[in-house]
Every structure is written in C-alpha cells, then in structure tokens.
Structure 1
Amino acid sequence: MRRLLLIISFLLTTILTAQDTTNVVLDLTNLESKTVAVEVYPPTEQKEWEYVIPEIVPGTYMKVRYERFYKKVKAFDKEGNKLKLKRKKNIVKIKGKQPLCKITYTVKPTLGDGKIWDNTLVCGGSAYTSGSALINFQMVNGYFEGFEKRPFKIEVKKPNEFYGASSIEKLSVEDELDILSAPNYNELIDHPILYAKADTASFKIKENTFKIAVYAQAGNINANLLKPRFEAFMHAIDTFSGFTTDRDYHFLLYFADKDKLKGMFKTFGSGSALEHKNSSVYYGMDKVFDSTFSYYNYVGPHEYFHTITPLNLHSEKIANFNYRESDMSAHVWMYEGITDYLALMLNAEASNLRRSYTQDFAFAAQSAINRDKQSMTESATDIIARRNMVSWIRKVFDIMNYYEKGKIIAMAMDWELMERTNGEKRLLDVMLEMKRDYEGSYFDDDSLLSILESYTYEGFKEQFAPYIEGTENPPFEEYFEKLGWTFYPKKSEIQSYGIYLYKDREADRYYIGSARKKNALGLKKGDTVLSINNQPLKEYFNKAEKGSYYHEVAYPQASDSLKMTIKRDGEVIEAEGSPKLEKVKYEKMKVNYYRFTEEQKKYRALFFEEEKWR
C-alpha cells in the first residue's frame, strides 16, 4: 500500500508539474534562412494571455527591443483557428473565443542585424549560420505572464551532426532532437547553448571540470588551441581565490568570419563576453591575432569572478528580476567594478599571466576623472532615457565607468582593509564571505553600504558613500604612490625626449618606432639605434643596473641628457639632447622599477600578496 501511495503521489506531481510547464519547440533544421521557427505551448488552458518578451536581461544595462527580432507572431486554438492578438512594445496580448493552443513565430539573429544602438552584443544575443546556432533564450522565447517562475521544457529539432554545448539540464539527447529543461525563466536565461559540429576540449583541476566548446566559422580557431590558455588562468584562479562554482563550468566561444559579415558595424561586439552561473559566452572574429590567446587572461577571469557577484551575491532587484519592465539595481559599480578589479589583481599577482596591469589602473583613474559628475548609483538605475544614438552613446560611457571608476573604488576598499589589518583581510575575503552568506538569498538594494560596513570596519559607509552615491573619487594617487607608481593624467606635463624605441626581433635591431616632429634629439621614425650613452645596445640593455632604459629614456628627469648613435640611410649620426616638457596625450603610469623605497617594497609585498604565490 505504501509503495502504491508513493507511485500515485509521484504521478500526480508529474501531471501537475506538466500542467504548469511552458513547452517550447525550436526548429534548427533550416538555418540557411538565418531564421529559427518557434512554437510555444501555454502551461494551462486559458482564453486570455499576455506573452512577455524581455525588455532587458541580467548582466546587461540597457533596454533593447528584443521584440523586433520576433517576426510573424500568430496564435492558434487547438482546432488550428487563428486567435486575435495585439502587440504593444514587448507584450503580446492574446484573446480568443477558444483557449490558446500555441503561439508560432520566427526569430532572426542579432548578429548581422546592422544596428548597434538598439541591439545587443552577440554574446548575449543570437547567431545563426548553416553550421551553427548560438542561442540566448531571450532571443527565442519569452514567458506567459504569471508563469515565469514555473518550469520550461525546450524541444530542439536539429541536424544530426549538431552538438549542444551548455550547462542546461538535458532530459534527452538524440540524433535529431534534444529535450532541455529549466525550472523557471530565470534559469532558462542563465543557460545559453551553442549548437554546432562538436569542437570541444576539457580539463580538470582538483574536483572541478571545465569544458570548452568552440564554433569557428572560418576554421582558424579550435578548442584544443584555446585549452592551454584557459587551463593556465583557471589554475591561477585556484591559487588566487579558489573555485566559486561547484558544477562543471562551460566556456562557449563563437568566432565569426569577418569576411562574411556585412555593414559598417560588422565587427560590433567583437571581444565581448557575458557571464552565467555555470558558463560564460564569448564572441570574436575567427582570426588568430595572438597564438597564446593572452586576451583571455583578463576577460576569462572577469566572467568567472561574476560567479561571486552578481550571480550569487546580489540585491532583490536581480533575485526578482523584472523582465517585463526594467527595475535596475543601483550597484552595478560592485557587480562590474569589483569583478573587474579581481580579474586585474589576478593578472597583477599571477606570474603565468603577466598582463600589463599598471596601464589598466591608469585608464581606470582617467575614466573616474573624466566622469566626475556621474553618481554610480543614480546612473545605474537610469538605464536609458531615449531610444536614439545620442542617448545610447552617453549610456555606453556610463557603463564603461561602472567598470573603471568601480575598479578604483574596489582598489580603495581593498587598500583600506589591507592597511587596517596588515593584509590579514582583503576585499576578496569580504566578497567570498558575503557570497557564502547571501547565496540563494539577496540583500536589500538600499542597504548595501551598511551591509558592507558590517563586513569591513566601522566608518566604511561614511567614508565610501561620497564615492559610490556621490561623485567624488577615492584618493587613488596616494595608493599609487605607496606602490611606487606615478600617475600622469591626460593633458598633464611630463619630461620626454619625444621618441620611442622598438625592437625588430627578426632583424635583431632596435629602431625609432615613433618620434615627435620636434623631438629632443632630432631623430626620425625608422632610424636604427646603434648605441645609447656611448654603450652598444646589447651592453646597455644587459648592464647590471636594470631598468636603465625605462628611467633614462622613457621617463627622464629634467636634469638628464641622452646620447644616441643612430644609422639613417647608410649614414652614422651622433645625436644628443635634453628632455622637454610635453603634454601627455594619453594617461600614463610610471613605475619605479628597481628603485622602490623600503616602504614601497613593504606595501607591494602586502598588496600583491607575494607570500600566496611562493
């Protein structure tokens, strides 16, 4: 009897769940047309429905008219009769004499759309070719109002050779049909999928498995080419923070053939990426610009660190995300700025990545200076006022500053914690602690600064509110100086000879790569350099006092002078001069290599956590 009751209970639960499930059918068998046919079946029998196409999705910060990618929307009853529907912006209203049986429509891809200001980056959009389909689910289906928190079942009709790379739950995988499942619309949006002929690689670090899936339209890049780079930065993350995912993690990479794209903005979004709890999506051109793929040293960790925030540490605005009408969290500075700071610090600390991080700090400081009227919190809630190019451009600069000034705020938080605890507690520790406490829950958007104070130190809110809620900047130049850095903002003055040396590795020679018209030595671009200060180049660059070139040529003092022997058109020329004051065209960061004070050495050892990496 007990067993019979259990069976009956299970069957009833299955039936009730099925009744609440929105069923979606995607047809990927006609991708040559650059469209996907979609059928959506409602979870219950009703005569009136509102079908919601998202206005915005998590991880993005501008409204996009996703509904314009949905074409030929029709509604039918079970007899095949058309029902009346009305489309108003992102809402499809359906009203009929008989209950709705299904909605049908086609969707077109965001890649190749031609617009940039009312479009989404491909990493958060869609791309269809005869050999691929990159799908973010907001681009193929919405939800029925009131049932967004109920289950979704997705049937995908596909070519036999297609493999669907994704972290989504797969109920069934057959040659020409996959059945996917998500417990609600939030989870569906959080699990994009890449369909193509299988090109995959994987690696394991401790108990964690990482999977790479690639579609490269021109065939220049593949998963095994990328694997060493991804494995290297994930090993570094293991040392830096430990892993913040507990399931298999998927890297989905889509590379388009530039020659097959059309329009003025055909490469729009190249190099973009978007985070999810157990995966991240990357979009770029199918060309090997760097055989080591070092670009991913930064963007890969950035997307992975989003598994700290906002994916697991966020406010109610994200936990109860409003797809129908945007209602944004005020704390993009944390979601993007702190995340970007952690990725930057990983690169600064890990010797196997070696990204030039000082210039990133310089760029961040300059952005904070430029956007001195932007409140981090106020601008975050105003995602975009008008649908036009001017409004779009303004918002792009706002968004950039969430990353850049957000990064400077993060550095200030990290620095203040480090000094107060002698390095015993850092910003990363705070974020991991908050993630553990809030995972599966959320904080109140209006209370974040008070919450951060409870995890940091008394007075935190009073100290940081002017930077986050107001428009002030943290005293970043003080932090830079303690690290042995000197920041030169745009349009400031600096002593310079007005020349830059480049090395031709194939010819084993140094030459003047660029030179100002009235540079201090009268040199010209292309001059071959034979000696510096009467020393042959090999001797000069190998001599005991390292950093000589950097301090003597790149960043001279006003009292310095420089001698160079160069060769131009077969003629050997002796040149000599003193530096001149010139305006800095782009922000710079001078580092006192090999000349740090003892105090700076102490701060550097603490800040870059040298003990952790030994």
Structure 2
Amino acid sequence: MKKIALSLSVLATVLVSAQSIKTNIDLVNVKDDKVAVTMEFPKMKSGDIKFHFPKTVPGTYSVDDYGRFIEGIKFLDNKGKELTFTKVNDNTYSLKNAQNLTKVTYLVNDSFDDEMDTSKHKAVFSPSGTDIEQGKVYMINTHGFIGYIDNMQDVPYQLVVQKPTDFYGTTALVDQDKSESTDTYVLANYAKVTDSPLMYTKPDYITFNAGGMDLVLGVYSPTGKYKAADFKENLEKMVVAQKKFLGDMNTNKKYAILLYLSGTDGPQIKGFGALEHHESTSVVLPEMMPKDAIDKAITDVVSHEFFHTVNPLKTHSEEIHNFDYADPKMSQHLWMYEGGTEYFANLFQIQEGLIDKNEFLKRINEKITNSKNYDDTMPFTVMSKNVLLDQYKDQYRNVYEKGTLLAMCLDIELRKLSNGEMGYRDMIRKLSQRFGENKPFKDDKLIDELVTVTGYPQIKDFYNKYIAGNQPTPYAEYLSQVGVEIGKQETPPIFWLIKDPNQTGYNEKNNTFVFDESSALSPFSKSVGFKITDEVLALDGKTIDIKNVQAFINYSKTIKEGQNVTLTVLRKNGDKMDKIDLKGKAILDKLTMETLQYKANPTPAEKKLQDQWLTGKK
C-alpha cells in the first residue's frame, strides 16, 4: 500500500506540474537587491491577454500598485523570442496575438527600501510589503513577487524557491521536495498564492502545538537580540485562550507566524503591525522594543490577525470572495471585518482572563477618545465601500476605533434583547454557519442575514442609525446598560505638540518624532504654525536620541507656561525636507478627559448584563 500511495503522489505532482503555472523565485543569484522571477505557463487559450500585478490585496485598504516594484519584464514565446507588449499602467501589461506565450521573466525590487520616500507614492504597509537583503532575510509577501494572467487565476501554481542552503523558509505551505537548495510548493490558484507569505532567513524558528493547532514561529532579529523561543510561552498562552474563545468557529489545524523585527541598520520602515492570511500572519515590529512590549504586541496584534480566520477570511461578501486584484471592489462592511475583529481581540482577553476588567474598560475608553479624531457622522458603510478613494481613505483608521465600539454596542444590544442569551460572538458564529469560505453573502443583504441568524429585527434599526446612517453612536447609553458610566478627569498641564501624546511615533531614519495625521494639534503647535506632517528634530536644541528618549521627554516636562521655546522640525518641500525653526511662547494644555468607570451601585439588571458581557457566560 505504501508503494502504491507513493506512486500516486508522484503521478499527482507530475500532473499538477504539467497543468500549472510554474513560478521560480531565485534567492541565490541576487543582484543590486533585486530578485529574478520566472513564470512558465501552460498553453494559452486566448491570443489577447493581460498580465497583472495586484493594485491592492485583501486585508489592506490602500492602493499600493505592486507592479511599480517590477523592472526588466520580458514576455517570451516557445522559441525564446520576445513578444511585444503595451504597458497599460504600473500593474498591467497587454499582449496581442500571444497564443505562443510560454514564459515571463522580470526583476523584483523590495518595498521596504521605498517606505521613507513617499513623494511619489504612499508607502506600502510593511507587513504587506517585501524585503530583499542578500545574505540576511527575504520577506516574500507573494503578491509583491508573482503576477497573474486574466482568466487564469484558477490555474494551479507550482512555486519553486531557490534558496541558500543555510536558509529556512517560515511559511504555512508544505515543501514538496527534499532538496537543501530548493523548496517546492503547490498552490491551488492565485488567491492561494497571495494568501501564502514566506520569510527566508537563517533558521530561527520553533514549532509546537497549542489548543490542538500546530504552530510555527519564525523570527528575524537582525542583531540576534531575540530568538523565537523567547516568545513561545506568551504565544502559547494566547493561542490556547483564542481557541477556547472561538470554539467551533475556528477549524485551523496549523498556523505560521512570520515575525520580522526591524533594526536600525536595515531598511528604515515605519509601518508596524500585521497582515492576516488563512493559515499565517506576517508581523513587523521594531527590534528595539522590550520583550514585554513585543509580547503585548503579539497578544494584541497577532490575535487580531488570527481572529480574521473567522471574519472575513471564512465569512465574507462576494466582493472579497471574488476579489479583483486589478480593479478592486470594496465591501461595505469594514465595521464587521476590522471593527468586529478588533473587538474580539480585546473581548477574548477579558473573558479568558488575560487582562482584568479595569484594563478592558481602559481600552474601550481609549477607543472612544481616538474615535473623536474622525468624522462621527460619516456612514461607515459609505466609507468602507469607498475606502480606496482620497476623500475617504483618511477615515480608514477609524475602523479600529469606532468599528470596535459599534461591535461592542451591538453586543450589548443583543444581550439586552436576549436577556443575556446571545451576544456578538454568537451572531458571528451563526453567520459563519450559514455562510462560509466558499459561500459568500451579498454585500447589500448583510443586515437582513444578521436579522435572520439572530431572530431580532430590532438590530436593523441599530444598523440603519449607527452603521449605515449618520447618527453618532450613543456610547454612554449602551455602556450604562452594563453598569458603566462616564466620569471626568483633569490631567496636569502638559507641553506637547498634539492633544494625545500617545499618537506620537518615531522615524528611525531621521531621528525624529512623527505624528498620526489624524491627531489634533495642541494650542502651542497652532500658535507657531506647526504642521501635523512636520517631523520634530529638536526642542530648544535638544535632539532626539531613541536610546535615551526619556531624557527628551523629561525636558519637555520642565517647560513652563510662557517660556520661550524653539522647535526644530523637518518640513516636506517637494522631494526634499527643509529644516525649520518654529519659535514661540509655551502654552501648556490642561485637558479634561472623559474616563469610563464601573458604577458603584449598578441595578441588578445592569450587574447581570455586565457579568455576562465580561465573562461570556449566559
């Protein structure tokens, strides 16, 4: 029996190879930080074809134009003769009378090197980007390396990666050969290609089982500061809690985590976070972070990506199921895909005992505060459907703030309607049972489906008012139902450049502080003409040293009201950055902040609903 099984396996591989698009990525012969890719096609069914690289990919909500990182492209017939083509745009090539097309070759530049120069194009979010560092690491988000032909997206791909013999590829894919110098993977279609990131580097990985699921964690730490084993304990604890929280909603038997830690000597990237896939996630974080901060990021960020295995990876609308990489059509329901997922990423931590009830309330309070930086009257469905357009894209980050809060309020609404018998998690479970990975719902019929699976038509009113409508969500009203009230707290007067200091970031390349463009400016910043896109280089001549950033912060705390202050900034001026001194008198900003607190004497009904909300028990 073993011999027969082996023969059938070999035969199947041969058949797949003959009928598939064979793609070779060469990580051995790398020149000038460019990787050669060759794609070989089965016989063309049409003479006129279009070859594409993605404009964007699922899970990202921005126009990234991955074709702009491609150069030296050649289309060849079965005799090796170059075919003429027309470059339609950054991502698309058109060929006429190309029945004999058999091969395309090209070079790939990485996106990480491009992140700090946004003069021509917005940077690609790092976890969905690519990195080519010869002898060190190759971050292969496959949509940045591999293209497709119209009407051939359902053809299988055979991916062959030529690699240095001392490199290991972290991925959820299964290597089909035993060679030390090549890895071979078989993928069902182009969607599976883009769903399968790989990270090649010198081996630093661990494998283990948690919650009945096999995990592999691969780590790239440029200085060797961290090893994969450093994060096992926290990761294992998180996965067990998530699997328990999800129950039968998650059926994953394996999962890969590609953790890329960005150093100070490599590409100066700034898009930290993660990108979800069915069986893996790619994560980018700064190597300078303390271990406990990385552990927290893994719990908060990686858990968010893992929850995406339920929504939208397995429960989604037709727009996602039939994703058009060249001309993407977006869904109306980012409130559920991202907001609901972010809600899960916080809710599971309180319900599974990873955080306490006060920390949970603190997080909800931060979401409310952050949501005030966005347009609270913009219908979420409209923003979501049009998120790739300039007039809406600046509102996208609100999916993680207001989107989370919408899911929370809907959770409370359902619990009140059902006397605690049903919540948001139950609704998503029922929706995933009604639909699934291969059965999408119609985008404009989602609310009707939610009414069907919950049995509560009242939630349609909630949806029409606060999700599809322009009414601000009454958070205080919903939180009161679970025994939570809003209090007031005054902060000591502070000197800073934006209202919320937590929205301050760091640009490693320029050694500057940068700010979320949605941040509100402080009174001092307004008085001296500071722009939110300015990068802070120095304060009264004191420059920023990231290794001792606390000294800079401590100095800012010594500044008194009316004190003369000189703020040195870098300001974008076309393709260059101008160094400018902004001078003025310090204005200390005393903020009155709203805080959430549990009621000292909630009613019995409020206390019961609160307990059900925080524990998940009925």
Q: Of residues 426, 430, 452 in structure 2, which corresponds to 1:433?
A: 430
Provide Cα deviations, 1:271-323, integer angstroms capped at 9, x if missing partner.
x1000111111011222424362222211211111011000000011111111
**Alignment-derived partner of residue 259 in structure 2:** 253
Mapped contact 1:71–1:106 kept (Cα < 8 A):
yes
Q: Of residues 315, 319, 336 in structure 2, which corresponds to 1:313?
A: 315
Mapped contact 1:314–1:443 kept (Cα < 8 A):
yes
Q: 1:260 to 1:483 in 2, by over 3 A?
A: same
Gaps of 5+ in 2: 495-553, 562-587
Deviates more, 1:186-195 or 1:202-211: 202-211
Q: Of residues 326, 329, 345 in structure 2, which corresponds to 1:324?
A: 326
Deviates more, 1:9-18 or 1:417-426: 9-18
Taking the aligned partners of 1:245 and 1:515, their CA distance within structure 2 comes to 55
What SS class does the counterpart of residue 64 from structure 2 fall into?
Answer: coil
Taking the aligned partners of 2:558 and 2:377, their CA distance within structure 1 comes to 36
**Alignment-derived partner of residue 529 in structure 1:** none
- Write the mapping of 1:439-588 to structure 2, written as runs, cut at 5 A: 439=436, 440-456=438-454, 457-487=456-486, 494=489, 585=591, 587-588=593-594
Aligned partner letter, 1:441: K
Deviation at 1:583, TM superposition (A): 8.3
**Alignment-derived partner of residue 162 in structure 1:** 167
Q: 1:403 to 1:221 in 2, by over 3 A?
A: same
**Alignment-derived partner of residue 413 in structure 1:** 410
Aligned partner letter, 2:443: D
Provide Cα deviations, 1:22-69, integer angstroms capped at 9, x if missing partner.
111110013463211011112214654311111111111111111100
**Alignment-derived partner of residue 401 in structure 2:** 404
Aligned partner letter, 1:437: R
What SS class does the counterpart of residue 250 from structure 1 fall into?
Answer: strand
Mapped contact 1:31–1:129 kept (Cα < 8 A):
no
Q: 1:498 to 1:443 in 2, by over 3 A?
A: same
Provide Cα deviations, 1:377-421, integer angstroms capped at 9, x if missing partner.
112122333xxxxx3xx6453211122111111011100111122
Provide Cα deviations, 1:208-229, integer angstroms capped at 9, x if missing partner.
2222111112211221111111
Identity %: 26
Taking the aligned partners of 1:441 and 1:21, their CA distance within structure 2 comes to 25
Taking the aligned partners of 1:610 and 1:204, their CA distance within structure 2 comes to 26
Question: Please, what TM-score do these two structures have when normalized by structure 2?
Answer: 0.77
Provide Cα deviations, 1:502-541, integer angstroms capped at 9, x if missing partner.
xxxxxxxxx9x969969xxxxxxxxxxxxxxxxxxxxxxx
Mapped contact 1:363–1:587 kept (Cα < 8 A):
no
* Residue 76 (structure 1) aligned with residue 80 (structure 2): no
Aligned partner letter, 1:72: G
Deviation at 1:83, TM superposition (A): 1.4
**Alignment-derived partner of residue 145 in structure 1:** 150
What SS class does the counterpart of residue 149 from structure 1 fall into?
Answer: coil
Gaps of 5+ in 1: 1-5, 386-390, 500-510, 519-581
**Alignment-derived partner of residue 22 in structure 2:** 23
- Write the mapping of 1:143-292 to structure 2, written as runs, cut at 5 A: 143-242=148-247, 244-261=250-267, 266-270=268-272, 272-291=273-292
Q: Of residues 369, 372, 381 in structure 1, which corresponds to 2:385?
A: 381
What SS class does the counterpart of residue 608 from structure 1 fall into?
Answer: helix
What SS class does the counterpart of residue 424 from structure 1 fall into?
Answer: coil
Which has the higher Rg, Structure 1 or Structure 2?
Answer: 1
Taking the aligned partners of 1:437 and 1:206, their CA distance within structure 2 comes to 25
Mapped contact 1:52–1:92 kept (Cα < 8 A):
yes
Mapped contact 2:126–2:269 kept (Cα < 8 A):
no
Mapped contact 2:489–2:595 kept (Cα < 8 A):
no
Taking the aligned partners of 1:497 and 1:50, their CA distance within structure 2 comes to 61
What SS class does the counterpart of residue 63 from structure 2 fall into?
Answer: coil
Deviation at 1:85, TM superposition (A): 1.4
Q: 1:10 to 1:343 in 2, by over 3 A?
A: closer
Taking the aligned partners of 2:211 and 2:266, their CA distance within structure 1 comes to 41
Mapped contact 1:498–1:515 kept (Cα < 8 A):
no
Aligned partner letter, 1:284: L
Mapped contact 1:110–1:126 kept (Cα < 8 A):
yes
Taking the aligned partners of 2:271 and 2:385, their CA distance within structure 1 comes to 23
Question: Please, what TM-score do these two structures have when normalized by structure 1?
Answer: 0.77
Taking the aligned partners of 1:259 and 1:9, their CA distance within structure 2 comes to 49
**Alignment-derived partner of residue 523 in structure 2:** none
Q: 1:514 to 1:486 in 2, by over 3 A?
A: farther
Q: 1:37 to 1:16 in 2, by over 3 A?
A: same
**Alignment-derived partner of residue 561 in structure 1:** none
Taking the aligned partners of 2:355 and 2:208, their CA distance within structure 1 comes to 18
State how many pairs are aligned: 517
**Alignment-derived partner of residue 62 in structure 1:** 62
What SS class does the counterpart of residue 235 from structure 1 fall into?
Answer: helix
**Alignment-derived partner of residue 574 in structure 2:** none
Aligned partner letter, 2:362: Q
Deviates more, 1:400-409 or 1:596-605: 596-605
Taking the aligned partners of 1:94 and 1:432, their CA distance within structure 2 comes to 46
What SS class does the counterpart of residue 242 from structure 2 fall into?
Answer: helix
Q: 1:587 to 1:64 in 2, by over 3 A?
A: farther
Aligned partner letter, 2:347: M
Mapped contact 2:62–2:387 kept (Cα < 8 A):
yes
What SS class does the counterpart of residue 384 from structure 2 fall into?
Answer: helix
Deviation at 1:352, TM superposition (A): 3.0
Mapped contact 1:383–1:395 kept (Cα < 8 A):
yes
Taking the aligned partners of 1:25 and 1:96, their CA distance within structure 2 comes to 25
Taking the aligned partners of 2:59 and 2:277, their CA distance within structure 1 comes to 9
What SS class does the counterpart of residue 339 from structure 2 fall into?
Answer: helix
Provide Cα deviations, 1:305-352, integer angstroms capped at 9, x if missing partner.
101100000001111111121111111111001000011112233333
Q: Of residues 595, 598, 606 in structure 1, which corresponds to 2:612?
A: 606
**Alignment-derived partner of residue 300 in structure 2:** 298
